[in-house]
Chains A and B, each alone.
Chain A
Amino acid sequence: MNPSIKLLLLLVIALEISFTMIISLNVALVILAIIYLGLHGTKLKTLAWLLVVPLLPAIGLWSTQYINGSGDKTLMAWVLFTRIYAFVFTGATFTLTTNILQLADALEQNWHLPSKFAYGVLAAYNLVPKIQHEVKVIRAAGLMRGQQLSFWSPQLYFKAILVSINWSQNLAQAMASHGFVEDAPRTHYRHSALHARDWIILGLGIIGMQIGVFVIPWH
């Protein structure tokens, strides 16, 4: 499925469940997401993690609502509890099955976003592991100079910002030296297709959501 359409559908779903209080809909979404992930060969261990990790915030929200909430406390508590899981699982159908390169391709080729934007985001994404390591290194470098840089130390952020500015400049130069020119035409090796099928899935998905919200809200 085209990643950009998938993302659009998921955004519509997320927006809609944020404003509805239908437990059955949240549960149905979680089940559908698990089926989708299963079909895409997601490991059981990963699914188990997805169930365990949100448990703490989910219980937190549930108990807050149950103890301090107003109106139908029990209903709201369970709505919030299931909503968290619905967010996590629908989100996972995107993050676990789509790579960022495909999304960038789709944004550039199907939606004609400036390639500068698509590749900028991509390059920044590729930098994430380096940034994590860099923060560790900055703190170690501080310690070796006798200075402890805690997480609220301005020097840590100053260094991190400097490093990022530097990286972004170098990245711009690297892209330019590999022939990248802003707004210039490029060819595309990986073809990102936008089929009628994608639009049909999007349409069916949105209609299905409305049915779940307005026609058969079992609660």
Chain B
Amino acid sequence: MATITLHNLTFSYPEAVAPILDQVNLTFASGQFTLLTGPSGTGKSTLLKLMTGLLSLPANQGSISFNQTDLTAIVPTDRAAQVALMFQNPNQQFAMDTVENELIFALENRQLPPQQIPQRLTAALDFVGISHLRHRHLNHLSGGEKQKVALAVIVAMDSDVILLDEPFASVDPTARASLLRRLVRLRDEAGKTIILADHDLTDYEPLIDNVVRITAEHTLAIVPQVQQPALFQAFNQRVSTHTTWPTPTSGTPLFQLKQVTLQQAQHQLLEPTDLTIYQHQTTLITGPNGSGKSTLFEALVRLQTYSGQLTYLGKDIQKLKRKAYARQVALLFQDAETQFLNITVAEELAQCQKYAYGDYFTPAHIDAALQQLNLAGHQDQVIYTLSEGQKKKLQILLMLIMQSPVLLLDEPLKGLDLASINALVQLLKTTLAATQQTLIIISHQLTGLTPLIDCHLRFDQHQLQYQEAF
């Protein structure tokens, strides 16, 4: 059980003009589940990293205390017993090769006697429901599976306070619900204090005790009980179950799959499949985590091996020149940083303008888009210092400026708040109308996205097929 008190907390990044957190005072009561919300880029990750001690707070910039003990006064080896953080990016939180070894590593760090390790390890995996992943390689797991492993590590370490930084950005609804159920149990049965940062508020209403919002003044405010329903309301307008998309039957075939199978390590992802994806249709691909959606995209851009035949406009993609094909079919990577080639925002924009395949994006157009995406004024910033949300928006803008005839978007809304999503979808709509590009989109999040979609492919149980109802 631990109460966390933030006292006059102020923090600024060296390169920033204004502090990202300014004179924050707040107490998180022990044994409660608090939802921390606010638009992307407002300091949620920073706050959580400060609270974990991963970022150190400069002297005289306020204090963070756990049960009245200042964080800096807690011996580093005892910190993990006090507080643990689950990261936003599932790929960057493990040091070892397999699930089992990662858990052992964490328990050794906690100085658990070796004879107690097997029992603690098994119990943690059972609690999260991933005993079957025990001997798997972390590199071969899907985003959702990795987040489950991350939770298992936290459960095994038995930290009093569990912080989660947008943990569900690349997690499908089933895995998300399962993780949330576990968190609620950790609060109710083990008395853990949980603080979860998210901007997508779907499904939290019945689970949480408090909502804390990051305000425009860079401080934290508790959202009063009476205002909470309105806050959640905005997110509950989910896709109505009556939305249907027709199965396309005519049109110019863009991609054709002939007996295509996909595999990752020893696991088959896709059984031999015949399928056509059409030109000038926006196709949405949904499916649970780890079903193979991203792998399919990697196969389409020749970053992943497959068997069978894949054709683009009637030609086998293996027979096309790599360079020419890359000009036709571009991929918006799930991890925004993968897409960047330069250092500052302005350099990235200039590079895209130089190599763009069309002239729809004039400098004026780009400025307007930057305004629309709330990125104006960041031109001279180093891209790697942008927030995850800002990186994502910039990444999408860059790939739109390129105007490749086909753009595959892998989770384009990942890590974005509602305002950003609406701005982006608007930008996509106007751009599409002018450039006639074909988009294929993988997304878990459908809020705001549905007006763009023409047809829907479902990737589940090793099958990939058109599905009318969602």
Q: CB within 8 Å of B: which residues of A?
A: 101, 119, 122-123, 126, 129-130, 133, 136-138, 140-148, 155, 159, 162-163, 166-167, 170-171, 173-181, 184-191
Contact = CB atoms under 8 A, between A and B. Distances in A.
Contacts, number: 139
A158 to B, nearest CB: 8
A170 to B, nearest CB: 4
B384 A126 contact: no
A170 B79 CA distance: 18
6 contacts: A126-B95, A137-B333, A140-B302, A143-B323, A145-B341, A188-B114
Interface in B242-269: none
B106 A179 contact: yes
Interface of B: 49, 52-54, 76-77, 79-80, 84-85, 87, 89, 92-97, 101-102, 104-114, 117, 139, 153, 157, 301-303, 322-323, 326-327, 330-331, 333, 337-341, 351-352, 354-357, 384, 398-399, 402, 404
B97 A126 contact: yes
A123 B338 CA distance: 21
B114 A191 contact: yes
Contact of B327 (A130, A146, A166, A176): A146
Interface of B is mostly: helix
B331 A174 contact: no
A129 to B, nearest CB: 7
A181 B109 CA distance: 7
Contacts of A178: 80, 93, 95, 102, 105-106, 109, 153, 157
A190 B95 CA distance: 17
B53 to A, nearest CB: 8
B11 to A, nearest CB: 17
A190 B114 CA distance: 8
B181 to A, nearest CB: 23
A184 B77 contact: yes
Given A177-B87, A189-B117, A141 B95 contact: no
Contacts of A173: 49, 54, 87, 92
Contact of B95 (A136, A171, A181, A189): A171
A170 B351 CA distance: 28
B323 A174 contact: no
B104 A174 contact: no
A163 B335 CA distance: 12
Nearest to A123: B95
Of all A-B residue pairs in the complex, the 4 with the closest CB atoms, nearest first, are A146-B355, A179-B80, A143-B326, A179-B109
Given A144-B301, A173-B92, A179-B109, 12 more contacts: A119-B95, A143-B326, A166-B337, A174-B92, A177-B87, A178-B109, A179-B157, A180-B109, A181-B79, A189-B104, A189-B117, A191-B114
A171 B92 contact: yes
A179 B322 CA distance: 45
Contacts of A129: 139
Contacts of B105: 119, 178, 180
Contact of A166 (B323, B331, B355, B384): B384
A177 B85 contact: yes
A141 B333 contact: yes
A185 B153 CA distance: 19
Contact of A122 (B84, B95, B106, B112): B95
Nearest to B331: A144
Given A141-B338, A145-B402, A181-B76, A188 B108 contact: yes
A170 B330 CA distance: 28
A160 B352 CA distance: 20
B350 to A, nearest CB: 12
Contacts of A142: 341
Nearest to B326: A143
Given A130-B139, A141-B339, A162-B384, A186 B108 contact: yes
B92 A167 contact: yes
Contact of B54 (A133, A136, A176, A186): A176
Contacts of A144: 301, 326-327, 330-331, 399, 402, 404
Contacts of A184: 76-77, 109
Given A143-B326, A177-B54, A155 B96 contact: no
A155 B94 CA distance: 28
B106 A145 contact: no
A177 B114 CA distance: 20
Given A129-B139, A178-B80, A145 B114 contact: no
A147 B351 CA distance: 9
Contacts of B114: 187-189, 191
A149 to B, nearest CB: 8
Nearest to A133: B303
A175 B110 CA distance: 12
Nearest to B85: A177
Contact of A187 (B87, B96, B108): B108
A199 to B, nearest CB: 25
Nearest to B84: A177
